[in-house]
Amino acid sequence: MSSSESAGTTAAKSDDGVNVPRSRIVIASLVGTTIEFYDFYIYATAAISVFPLLFFPTGDSGAALLSSLATFGLAFVARPIGSIVFGHFGDRVGRKATLVGSLLTMGIATFLIGLLPTYAQIGLFAPAMLAILRFCQGLGLGGEWSGAALLATETAKKGKRAWAAMWPQLGAPFGFILANGFFLLLTVWMGYTGSAANDPSHPFVVWGWRIPFLVSAIIVLIGLYVRLKLEETPVFARAVAQGKKVKTPIVEVFRTAWKPLILGTFIMLATYSLFYLMTTWILSYAIGSVENGFLGIPYQDFLILQLISIIFFAAFIPVAGWLADKFGRRRTLMVVTAGIIVFGLCFNFFLAPEIMGQGDSASHGLMLTFLIIGIILMGLTFGPMSAILPELFETNVRYTGSALAYNISSIFGAALAPFIAAWLAKDFGVGWVGVYLASMAVLTFVALYLSKETKNMSMDTLEDEVDEADQEEAAVKR
């Protein structure tokens, strides 16, 4: 056998993931994204439950909540910047080193939030410092997701790329369960039964909320240990060997890949909008006071309902990966997106106070049904994203391009969603929140319609691969 044939055999094995320890890749992509999403969610929970009181005290509780949600959204402004910074190094230096850097950025910022003094202690410096650290959280997450997705897709077996890519997606529900489960245990242990309207001298408000932020340091160390043992992906290694690296990936993306960048941004839009309405906004609407037109469900009760629904999120991500490999990414996502549109138009039926009830009369069963339907749709739309977005871009700009699409979309679908939804629910009624979600899903449906199927595409060439069996069948027909 010639040397070139030998090299081709090795490359083929790498394509199929034979030479790559799958268990290590699964753990590294899953553990890393679980940590990242844990860090992100503990902020989201605190932004609703305690930050309005501690960092944004005003005479108007609604204004304090909106201010707190604004800092929550600040991270989404930082995420595209993070995707450019980490994407540059991911496409220039490699996936492994960049994944370590993004994890450290996110972890350090989260830990420091747990040490912050409050508004009562240092005045306006408190919300300013919170905003800076929230921005740093966004920078880290801006580089995290794409690196984990590439680690999974660029080492996947042929025909199983969506299944391999769903592992980092599971970090989202796992991180959510860890974060909100931690908060639930703390509130039960410390006897905290309400929201930020509680007595500011309550131990949970004074110091209890800090524990999940500080504990994140331990989890980050575990993630670092796993990621430092990784090898570079074979697809990236081949691109380097062939001299395909570019000096400025961000420039190359806008020069040669602007169309997939736009399509990828809108493909992700409905997923972001749905997720942050179902996890962040719904918390504020559900536990908000009856006097302000909200549902007044006790904080602990609602956290339990949310945690139950997130189990369905985790369960349907693998289902989505399987469907995307069997039927294709585009077809699967178009059907799911149509379901999101219908779901959005049903918000008033589920959530209107006169139907759901308020306070002690609020229907927990109806709320749980609403959460489960939305979260199942979330699992089905989120699962294939770590396959379809990387498949839109060439290897030498894949980290930057997929990260940009993912994180630019976060501004429109995640940063703005809780804020817009809170305003719509307060001034126009909860039904208009669903109309907002449906409109975002329509934009995603159009983007999917304009895109092409990437199920059989080679990660090296972006061209469709034909199985040997299909080639033989075509030859017989000829």
Q: Considering the entire predicted model, what is its pTM?
A: 0.82
Residue 381, pLDDT score = 97
| C-beta separation of 304 from 364 below 8 A | no
| C-beta separation of 425 from 433 below 8 A | yes
Residue 57, pLDDT score = 67
Residue 368, pLDDT score = 96
Residue 211, number of CB atoms within 10 A of its CB: 17
CA distance 354 to 350: 10
Buried b / exposed e over 286-307, threshold 16 CB at 10 Å, is bbbbeeebbbbbbbbebbbbbb
| C-beta separation of 114 from 213 below 8 A | yes
Helix (H) or strand (E) holding 395: none
pLDDT averaged per 10 residues in sequence order, the chain, 478 residues: 37 43 78 80 78 71 64 78 86 80 87 89 85 88 84 84 92 88 85 62 84 88 80 74 79 92 96 91 87 84 90 96 95 98 96 90 94 97 94 89 90 82 89 96 97 87 60 47
CA dihedral of residues 429, 309, 204, 65 (deg, nearest 10): -20
Residue 471, pLDDT score = 46
Contact partners, residue 122, CB within 8 Å, separation at least 6? none
Residue 30, pLDDT score = 85
Q: Look at the domain 21-473 and name its fold.
A: Growth Hormone; Chain: A; (1.20.1250)
Residue 198, pLDDT score = 53
Beta bridge partners of 457: 464
CA dihedral of residues 387, 389, 393, 398 (deg, nearest 10): -80
41: which 2 tokens? 């969610």
End-to-end CA distance of the chain: 31
Show me where the domains of the chain are located. 21-473
The phi and psi torsions of 246 (rounded to 5 degrees) equal -115, 155
Residue 199, pLDDT score = 64
